[in-house]
Amino acid sequence: MDREPARAHAVSGFVAGAIALAVLYSGNNLPSAFYGTFRHVMAFSPLTQTLLYAAAVAVILPGLLIFGPLSDAVGRRVPILLGLAMFAVGDLLFAAADGVGWLFAARVAQGLGMGMAAAAAQATLGDSVPGFRPSPAQGQHLAAVTATACITFGLAAGPLLGGLLAQYGPAPLRLAFFVHLALVVFGALAALRAPGRPAGARRGWRLAGIGVPPPIRRTFTFVAASSFLAWAVLGIFSAVLPSLVGGLLETTNLALTAGALTLMIGTSGLVQLGVRRLEPRSAQAIGLIVLAAGLALLVGAGTANSLPLTALAMLATGTGHGLVFSGAQHELGAVTSPDNRGAVTGAYYMASYLGLGGPVIGVGLLALSRGLTAATSMVSVVIAALCLVVAPLIALERRRAA
């Protein structure tokens, strides 16, 4: 009789973690649908547009290092609820925004929410599966697949939700944030079923460590380089793609412009779920080449003002991102010992978030003198060239290791 309630409690905790991840990541990318519109309404520069995106990224990483270990001490429920509360503040600030300062405050609140809750929500998945999956390997595989789906498809759904509601609903700059606020409340109610503080949890709370043991530094260097480039593309596109597509296609339809970003990220998610049997280094090398091809197609789409080329560019960059991310995660997991997993994961997040937030600022700076389309094309060419440099190095490393 005791097993069924325990199983139901584990399932509830798993569902709570999954809902929290989906709500967090969809909300984090929801404003991407609106940056171009905000820039037009509030008359700020392309640099400000890219800084708005980077503001949350700049807060997320230190937030993960500070609040990530908190859930080990106090349980998963409290950090998830704190993070969702910060996201509620961000949604309200976006809905009330009548100036750039409000937008930056909203993005900082979102970054804090991600830093507080993302690690705890993902850990909840791994904590819960033993309660309803008898095989540890199958349970952790389910947790990993669920986290991938919630994170990637959450990132894809956010802009599409914003674009559709802004284009076809009332109060175009506010409705999407109120809808997401309702999702935050739903996520918080679900999070009440997340695990509290376990009886054997340590009482101390310290910063998460960052470091890479000497035996795996060579491998980590290649993983970090490929991930930096893949997330740089996602960061640039999340910040400017809807504006860029609107200019290329001469349309103000927010559902269409945001849909381009959704197409890219959704493709990445499908690829991540479908290529798990591909050798990790091969996945990264192939992914970088496909990523470079997608960037070249995007530059060509800008020259030709072509919707088909734009769609192909999104499919290619999404495929490349999915291959690189999946391969990097699997390779890092294979070479990292449990004793060092937290420190190595922290270092990996550092490289990925630098890629996510750094190059996009370069686009904004170049856009001041060259315009947004030309600046995006220039940075895309540089990243594509770097992809073509790193890809053969990873392929050679695979041969060397074999």
How much of the chain exceeds pLDDT 90, in percent? 29
pLDDT score, position 1 = 39
pLDDT (tens digit, 9 = 90+) per residue, 101-121?
999 999 999 999 998 888 888
* Residue 116 contacts residue 59 (beta carbons within 8 Å): no
Token representation of residue 215: 């035996």
* Residue 280 contacts residue 330 (beta carbons within 8 Å): yes
Token representation of residue 399: 């041969």
Between CA 266 and CA 298 the distance in angstroms is 17
How would residue 130 be classed by pLDDT, with cut points 50, 70 and 90? Answer: confident
* Least confidently predicted of 73-82, 201-210, 214-223, 239-248: 201-210
Burial of 380 from C-beta contacts in 10 A (0-12 / 13-18 / 19+): buried
Between CA 135 and CA 138 the distance in angstroms is 5
Pick left, alpha or beta for residue 371 (phi over 0 → left; psi -120 to 50 → alpha; otherwise beta): left
Between CA 138 and CA 141 the distance in angstroms is 5
pLDDT (tens digit, 9 = 90+) per residue, 288-345?
999 999 989 888 877 777 778 888 988 999 999 999 988 888 887 777 776 666 567 7
pLDDT exceeds cutoff 70 at 402: no
Cα dihedral value 244, 298, 235, 158, nearest 10: 60
pLDDT score, position 88 = 96
pTM for this model (two decimals) = 0.86
CA distances from 107 to 47, 112, 151, 159, 320 (A): 15, 9, 18, 15, 28
* Residue 10 contacts residue 130 (beta carbons within 8 Å): yes
pLDDT exceeds cutoff 60 at 202: no
**Is the pLDDT higher at 286 or at 196?**
286
HSE value, Cβ hemisphere, 13 Å, CA-based, for 332: 28
pLDDT exceeds cutoff 90 at 11: no
- Domains in the chain (CATH in brackets) are 1-194 (1.20.1250.20), 209-402 (1.20.1250.20)
Between CA 70 and CA 74 the distance in angstroms is 6
* Least confidently predicted of 22-26, 95-99, 236-240: 236-240
pLDDT score, position 389 = 94
